[in-house]
Chains A and B, each alone.
Chain A
Amino acid sequence: MSILVFLIPLALILGLIGLGTFVWSLKSGQYDDLDGAANRILIDEDNKIN
């Protein structure tokens, strides 16, 4: 059972990394304009690339 000492912290750390990423994405405003992102994908930006 001593493997638990290693595995449980590992699981928690991985989970915390996920949570941290989520909090970061929330704080940096990625959820502010969900409909906008869905529409922006349609914008053709060919003229910008040169």
Chain B
Amino acid sequence: MENKIDGYDAYVRTDNLIQSLRLKVTGVYCAGCIQKIESTLNDLNGVQKCRLNFTTGALIIDWQGKISRANDFVQYIIDLGYEVAPYQDGDKTITQKNNFLLMCMGVSGFAAGNIMLLSFGLWITDQNTMGDATRDFLHLISALIAIPAILFSGRPFFKSAWSALKHKYTNMDVPISLALILATGMSVHELMRGGEHVYFDSALMLCFFLLIGRYLDFKARANARSAATDLMSALSGFATIMDGKKTRKIPTRDVLPDMIVIVAMGEKIPVDGVIENGETDIDTSLVTGETLPRHATKGTDVFAGTLNLSATIAVRVIKESRDSLLSDIVHLMEQAELGQATYARLADRAAKFYTPMVHTLAITAFLLWFFVVGIVWQDALMIAVTVLIITCPCALGLAVPVAQVLSTGQLLRQKIMVKSGDALERLAKIDYIFFDKTGTLTNAKPTLIGDHRQDDLQFAASIASHSHHPLSQSIAQSYDGDLFSIDDVIEIAGQGLKGRYKGKNILLGNSKLLNINQANDDLMSLYLSIDGATPILFQFENSLRRDAKPVLKNLKNKNLKLALLSGDRCSVVKNIAKDLNFDEMHGDLNPAEKYKYLENAKAQNRTVLMVGDGLNDAPVLAGSDVSMAPGTAIGLAQNAADIVFMGDDLNPVDIAHTMAIRTQNIVKQNFTIAVLYNMVAIPMAFMGLVTPMIAAIAMSGSSILVIANSFRLKLKS
């Protein structure tokens, strides 16, 4: 077997005779994949450890022996049918943050549990039975546990609140931090003067509950890994260059202008350039979204990321890899994602009016009690702090993440993967949907239509199986009997295939190959000619997903405006748009033009959902308010999209939208519950009627109510 992989040895780390390689494997979806990869590699000689992280796709291989074996390992994995790239360390920060939150959660959970043991005694026993000395002793132990625990596990809130205040805005973490600090500070003060009540338990429970919400929220979002990291690995492949008379593989990023790159049949073109030598068909669907390949000869411009289909070509490099069209699209995507980052999440918007309101209330309580009623300042401050504690947005902090995590889980069971929690929040608000055509509304590959004689199909499939052309592959796939072995098959770029079978000439190609005068030459057809007999016509179409029509009708009934944006020819786009009753349609678009339509829509204050699958959709996917991609989409598009759906149906778009609206309703109910609770609790705290026990019960009560309400998402579906 010819080893096509080269260059991975540069990524190997050596430690004490053991070589170690980290790879990023994509396409791992189930237990079978893990087993296939791990057992294949583990069975190889010298491999000591091979472990695949299912969540991140990171594969670690440790072995003893030559460094160059790295390339063999990569070849094995590729032969199993997975895509491999050198591992980028971008994921590390996510793991670190995850562990940090878990650690805070663990510590606060431990401390809260232990303090509750003590508090239980304090609550159920009256003053006379316990005695002041024991009470103060238990308070002291509580303080010793609570103070370090709050300082340690409150950090996620303190940090976020501090950075918000530094940039002169507020978020939910400001009142949380303030309540934590004040409750602890007040309790320390009470402890020192031997007071009757301390609030350590409330503060810690609050911290623990909120950390649970924070962790769920983070988990839901961690999957939305930065698209840019993965794009870098798309550019981190290798290119074969001519070095004098010999060929040599170098990393794509080291390719310089004017080098000659050799691209074999079936390989991706790594850089932007001009064909120097050779004639071929190029599948440009990645960049333009076009179904059919383009014919390319000497002097034609070719772009990085497109696929060379029919013959080996030599390409003279025009631009360095980082300036290629692919990089431009990457750049456009990064820009677009920046634009999206300004989206204010519901919880933060709530905090914007909630925070000042709560603080004003607390200050008013203090002023009223101290100046108007005239009690000592310690008692007045105590009441103010109680107001702050009781209004602390425990339920508010849980309202959004719990509902989102539950509905994300529901959707996952229907093979719809929501990568970020707030995607549902944004999806609920859309009023405009952009659809890509090829691969999104239609199935990814063209299919053969009409009836054909089995003999003809057998001949066509036999010769077609020699080609990478999408039409040939479609013919080859629609015949599943035995194939003839055709001799001397040659592929003529831009025309078709020629071969011989038992002395007969077999031709399969377009009208040009068969010298037929076709006035109305349709690109989606092929002719088969056996030894000069009358040519037989094969026609193809990009068939629509089977439920496209009803799904689009449903969406339209929900008062959503539908637009079709495609890189395909206008005539094709027009037909489909009319058939499916689209409000708007645009054909012949390149990625930048597609993005323009998005900007226009945004300028009209529209909230846009983009559904697309190609590289040409990636900027729009990244920049739209929310985006979906089918599981057949290229990795880049899947990364840019907020939601990825599996299967052959278009229905997930409708399901996800319905679910998003339901989730949003639940979230609103949760907010209402939290606000109602506050409306009862605040006046009581304000009047100085609330004891610590009532505060603690009321606080967890409202949290439990919010969680229970969220679980309705799971019951009724």
Which chain A residues have a beta carbon within 8 Å of chain B's beta carbons?
A: 1, 4, 8, 11-12, 15-16, 18-19, 22-23, 26, 31-36, 39-43
Contact = CB atoms under 8 A, between A and B. Distances in A.
A39 B98 contact: no
Contact of B31 (A15, A22, A40): A40
A26 B113 contact: no
A42 B31 contact: yes
A34 B107 CA distance: 20
A18 B134 contact: no
**Contact-residue bracket for chain B:** 20 to 34
19 contacts: A1-B131, A8-B118, A11-B114, A12-B114, A12-B145, A15-B110, A18-B110, A19-B110, A23-B106, A26-B103, A31-B99, A33-B53, A33-B55, A35-B54, A36-B55, A39-B31, A40-B34, A43-B31, A43-B35
B95 interface: yes
B122 to A, nearest CB: 12
A15 to B, nearest CB: 5
A18 B110 CA distance: 8
A39 B118 CA distance: 41
B449 interface: no
B106 A32 contact: no
Contacts of A34: 55
Given A26-B99, A26-B102, 5 more contacts: A8-B118, A12-B114, A19-B107, A36-B52, A39-B34
B34 A15 contact: no
B76 interface: no
B11 interface: no
A32 to B, nearest CB: 6
B141 A15 contact: no
B106 A19 contact: yes
Interface in B77-108: 95, 98-99, 102-103, 106-107
Interface in B40-94: 52-56
Contacts of B56: 32-33
Interface of B: 30-31, 34-35, 52-56, 95, 98-99, 102-103, 106-107, 110, 113-114, 117-118, 131, 134, 137, 141, 145
Nearest to B223: A35
Contact of A26 (B53, B106, B118): B106
Q: Which 3 A-B pairs have the closest CB atoms?
A: A36-B54, A42-B31, A39-B31
Given A23-B106, A26-B102, A42-B31, A32 B55 contact: yes
A38 to B, nearest CB: 8
B55 A35 contact: yes
B117 A31 contact: no
B192 to A, nearest CB: 21
A33 B54 contact: yes
Nearest to A14: B114
B148 to A, nearest CB: 12
Contacts of A41: 31
A12 B113 CA distance: 10
A49 to B, nearest CB: 14
Contacts of B54: 33, 35-36, 39-40
A15 B30 contact: no
B137 A15 contact: no
A4 B134 contact: yes
B260 to A, nearest CB: 44
Most B C-beta atoms less than 10 A away, residue of A4, A19, A42: A19
Contacts of B141: 8
B120 to A, nearest CB: 11
A26 B102 CA distance: 8
Nearest to B42: A48
B114 A4 contact: no
Contacts of A4: 134, 137
A33 B506 CA distance: 54
B113 A32 contact: no
A33 to B, nearest CB: 5
A31 B215 CA distance: 13
B98 A31 contact: yes
